[in-house]
Amino acid sequence: MAFVKVAQRGEIKENSGKELYINGTRIALFYANGKYYAIEALCRHQDGSLAPGKIDGEVVECPLHS
C-alpha cells in the first residue's frame, strides 16, 4: 500500500480533526498530543462524521451521540 499525502503539517489544529476521502473511504484525521491519528470517519449509528468530535486523549467522542 502506498502512502497518500492528505494534509500539510500545521493544517489541523491541536485536538481537532478533518474529514477526508481517500480512495473512496471516509477518513477522520486528528492531531492530538503532538501526534496524528487516522480512523474511519463514519459513526455506525447514524452515518455521521466523527471528524468534528471532541478528543479526549486518544478517544474521539461522536458529535451526534456524545
Interval 53-65: pLDDT, tens:
888 888 888 888 7
Per-residue pLDDT tens over the stretch 9-54? 889 999 999 999 988 889 999 999 899 999 999 887 777 888 888 8
pTM: 0.81
Strands (E) across 1-66 are located at: 16-22, 25-32, 35-40, 54-56, 59-61
User: Structural domain boundaries of the chain?
Assistant: 16-61
